[in-house]
Amino acid sequence: MSFPRIRFDAVVLAGGRSSRLGGVPKANLTVEGRSLLEITCRAVADADRIVIVGPNSAVPGTMTELLGTGGPELRVVREDPPFAGPAAALAAALTTPGALGPADSSPAWLAVLACDMPRAGQLLELLLAAVARDPSVSVVADDAGRTQPLAALYRREALEAAVAGTATTGGAANLSMKKLLARVSTREVPVPPGTTLDVDTWDDARALGVDVVEETPEGTDGRARKIVDRVVRQAAEGL
């Protein structure tokens, strides 16, 4: 049985501290020459619009070209305050003027992906197929019994209501995803084991095939410093 194409926008979260990686931005780490951010954006390349939440320096100036002519619109926003967590990042994507289009003329669905899951491209089609079969509630990836709320396809109106509900409890800054989603109806969709594994440490990076830089007691070795230097240089050049 074939299902109609599901239109969706996408939010890619790329604003974490990377504290266990010595501050090296996850978005700029690479797998076979492609940054984790590029891999994630390619996974949602069929979106109408992609909103990246993170520093402008994380987004190469060539990203639009990489997504292809006629690809999705690309916006970059920042959670307030910076490093306030994924709930705050989602709130920024939903509430920043011009980030997403008007709700009455935009897709009803919002894909949400963290930028540090190199295998995430394997699961989006499963989430879209699940929504096509039953569009009644949001769907969240279930990887071998582990639910991953940052690999999900949410009904936009449900997320907007959840974010609006935080206004009476201090806002979304530093709020856990569990609390943000407490009133969002979801169902779990099984995905291939390992597709939601993320990069929190250098051991994670090695296991997932990321081009690894080794830790030292000082934090990062020469290769890591080159990555940091490159990111700083790109930021200075306005990329």
* Tens-digit pLDDT string for the chain (239 aa): 455 689 999 999 998 878 788 888 888 889 988 889 999 999 999 999 999 999 876 665 555 565 655 678 889 999 989 999 999 999 999 999 999 988 888 999 999 999 999 998 889 999 999 999 999 999 999 999 999 999 999 999 999 999 999 988 889 999 999 999 999 999 999 999 999 999 988 899 899 999 875 443 344 344 444 443 443 344 334 43
- Structural domain count of the chain: 1
Query: Is there a domain that residue 79 lies in?
Result: yes
Query: Is there a domain that residue 76 lies in?
Result: yes
Query: Is there a domain that residue 21 lies in?
Result: yes
Query: Is there a domain that residue 3 lies in?
Result: no
**Rounded to two decimals, what is the model's pTM?**
0.84
Query: Is there a domain that residue 18 lies in?
Result: yes
Query: Is there a domain that residue 56 lies in?
Result: yes
Backbone angles phi and psi of 140, in degrees to 5: -130, 140
The full DSSP string for 168-181 is GGT-STT--HHHHT
Query: Is there a domain that residue 160 lies in?
Result: yes
Domain carrying residue 70: 8-236
What CATH number is associated with residue 24? 3.90.550.10
Q: Is 68 exposed, middle or buried (0-12, 13-18, 19+ CB in 10 A)?
A: exposed
Query: Is there a domain that residue 1 lies in?
Result: no
